[in-house]
Amino acid sequence: MKSFFPKPTFKIDDIISYVELVAAERINLQKGMNFKIKPDYSIFLMSVRRNAPYTDEWDESTNTLIYEGHDAYSNWVENSKEADQPLITPSGSLTENGKFFTAAQAYKMKLVEHPHKVKVYEKIQAGVWCYKGFFSLIDATIINNGVRNVFKFYLQPVELKALNKEIVLPHTRLIPTQVKVEVWARDKGRCVKCGSIKNLHYDHDLPFSKGGTSLTAANVRILCMKCNISKSNKIITIPPIFT
Domains of the chain plus CATH, in order, are: 15-170 (2.30.280.10), 179-234 (1.10.30.50)
Higher pLDDT, residue 178 or 170: 178
Nearest one of 109, 171, 185, 165 to 140, comparing CA atoms: 109
pLDDT at 53: 83
**DSSP assignment letter at 85:** P
pLDDT at 61: 80
Residue 158 to residues 87, 93, 117: CA-CA distances in angstroms? 27, 31, 9
Range 139-142, long-range pairs (CB < 8 A, 24+ positions): 139/104, 139/108, 140/100, 140/101, 140/104, 140/105, 140/108, 142/101
**Ramachandran category for residue 63: left, alpha or beta (phi over 0 → left; psi -120 to 50 → alpha):** left
Percentage, residues of the chain above pLDDT 70:
89
Residue 83 pLDDT exceeds 60 = yes
Predicted confidence (pLDDT) per residue in 19-51, tens digit: 999 999 999 898 999 999 998 999 999 987 777
